[in-house]
Chain A
Amino acid sequence: MPPIVEVKSLTKIYYRDSQKIPVLENLSLLIDDGEFLALMGPSGSGKTTLLNCLAGIDTPSSGSIVIGQEEITKLRGKSLALWRSQNIGFIFQLYNLIPVLTAFQNVELPLLLTKLSRKERHEHVETALSIVGLSDRIHHFPRQLSGGQEQRVAIARAIVSDPQLLLADEPTGDLDAKSADEILELLSQLNKEYNKTIIMVTHDPRAAQKSGRVIYLDKGVLSEQKE
Chain B
Amino acid sequence: MKFLGLIWINLKRRKIRSILTFLSIVVALFLFCTLQAVLETVNSQFKIGNENRLVVRNSISIIFDLPISYLNWLKSLPEVKSVSYTNWFGGIYIEERNFFPQFAVDPETFLSMYPELIIPEDQKIAFLKERTACIVGEGLMKKYGWKLNDTIHLKGTIFPGDWPFIIRGVYRPATEEFGDNMYFHWNYLYEKSERAANIGTYIIELKDTSQAANVARVIDEHYKNSSYSTLTQDEKVFLLSFVSLYGNIGLLLNTIGMAITFAILLVTSNTMIMSVRERIPEIAVMKTLGFTDFLVFILILAEAIFLCILGGLSGCLFARFLYNVTGFNASGFLPGFHVSFKTIITGMIVTVIVGFVSGIIPAWQSSRLSIVNALRKV
A interface residues (Cβ-Cβ under 8 A, vs B): 52, 55, 57-58, 77-78, 81-82, 84-86, 90, 92, 94, 96, 98, 100-101, 105, 109-110, 112-113, 118, 157
Q: A92-B378, A113-B291 given. 9 additional CB < 8 A pairs?
A: A57-B287, A81-B291, A81-B292, A94-B378, A98-B285, A100-B9, A109-B289, A112-B2, A157-B289
In the assembled complex, the CB of A63 is this many whole angstroms from the nearest CB of chain B, namely 17
**What are 21 of the A-B contact pairs (CB < 8 Å)?**
A52-B371, A52-B372, A55-B288, A57-B371, A57-B375, A77-B292, A82-B292, A85-B289, A86-B290, A90-B289, A92-B285, A96-B281, A96-B375, A96-B378, A105-B5, A109-B286, A109-B289, A110-B290, A113-B290, A113-B291, A113-B295
Given the interface contacts A57-B371, A100-B13, does A118 sit within 8 Å of B2 by beta carbon? Answer: yes
Chain A's closest residue to B292 (CB) is A81
List A contacts of B5 (CB < 8 A): 105
List A contacts of B12 (CB < 8 A): 100
Q: How far is the CA of A145 from the CA of B54 in the complex (A)?
A: 82
B interface residues (Cβ-Cβ under 8 A, vs A): 2-3, 5-6, 9-10, 12-13, 281-282, 285-295, 371-372, 375, 378
Chain B's closest residue to A163 (CB) is B290
Q: How far is the CA of A188 from the CA of B10 in the complex (A)?
A: 35
Q: How far is the CA of A86 from the CA of B289 in the complex (A)?
A: 9
In the assembled complex, the CB of A182 is this many whole angstroms from the nearest CB of chain B, namely 23
Do B285 and A96 have beta carbons less than 8 Å apart?
yes
Do A81 and B285 have beta carbons less than 8 Å apart?
no
Set B9, B290, B293, B295: member contacting A101, Cβ < 8 A = B9
List A contacts of B9 (CB < 8 A): 100-101, 105
Do B292 and A58 have beta carbons less than 8 Å apart?
no
Q: How far is the CA of A94 from the CA of B6 in the complex (A)?
A: 22
Q: How far is the CA of A85 from the CA of B285 in the complex (A)?
A: 12
Do A112 and B288 have beta carbons less than 8 Å apart?
no
Q: Name which of B281, B288, B371, B372 has the most chain A CB atoms within 10 A of its CB.
A: B288
Set A77, A105, A112, A118: member contacting B3, Cβ < 8 A = A112
Do A84 and B289 have beta carbons less than 8 Å apart?
yes
Chain B's closest residue to A113 (CB) is B290
Set B2, B281, B290, B294: member contacting A85, Cβ < 8 A = B290
List A contacts of B6 (CB < 8 A): 112
Do B290 and A81 have beta carbons less than 8 Å apart?
yes
Given the interface contacts A112-B2, A112-B3, A112-B6, does A57 sit within 8 Å of B372 by beta carbon? Answer: yes
Set A58, A78, A105, A110: member contacting B289, Cβ < 8 A = A110
List A contacts of B10 (CB < 8 A): 100
List B contacts of A52 (CB < 8 A): 371-372
Q: How far is the CA of A15 from the CA of B378 in the complex (A)?
A: 22
Do B287 and A81 have beta carbons less than 8 Å apart?
yes
Set B282, B288, B295: member contacting A90, Cβ < 8 A = B288
In the assembled complex, the CB of B295 is this many whole angstroms from the nearest CB of chain A, namely 8
Set B2, B281, B288, B292: member contacting A78, Cβ < 8 A = B292
Chain A's closest residue to B293 (CB) is A77
In the assembled complex, the CB of B214 is this many whole angstroms from the nearest CB of chain A, namely 72
Set B13, B290, B375: member contacting A84, Cβ < 8 A = B290
